[in-house]
Amino acid sequence: MKQLLQSIIQKRNPNFSFDPALDNFTLVSFFWAQIWGILRGCKLVFRFQNPKMASLGKNVHFFNSRKISFGKFMKIGNNVHLSALGKNGITIGNNVSIGAFSRIIISTSFNHLGEHIKIGNNVGLGEFTYLGGAGGLEIGDECIVGQYFSCHPENHIVADPDISIRHQGVTRKGIKIGKNCWIGSKVTILDGVEIGDGCVIAAGAVVNKSFPKNSIIGGVPAKILKTR
Q: Which residues are catalytic?
A: 156
CA distances from 203 to 55, 132, 151, 159 (A): 28, 20, 14, 32
Distance from C-alpha of 132 to C-alpha of 115, rounded to nearest angstrom: 10
Distance from C-alpha of 110 to C-alpha of 64, rounded to nearest angstrom: 13
5 neighbors 24 (Cβ within 8 angstroms): no
Query: Three-state SS for 142?
Result: coil
Distance from C-alpha of 143 to C-alpha of 127, rounded to nearest angstrom: 15
User: 153: which residues sit within 8 A by CB, 6+ positions away?
Assistant: 115, 132, 133, 134, 135, 136, 137, 172, 173, 174, 175, 191, 192
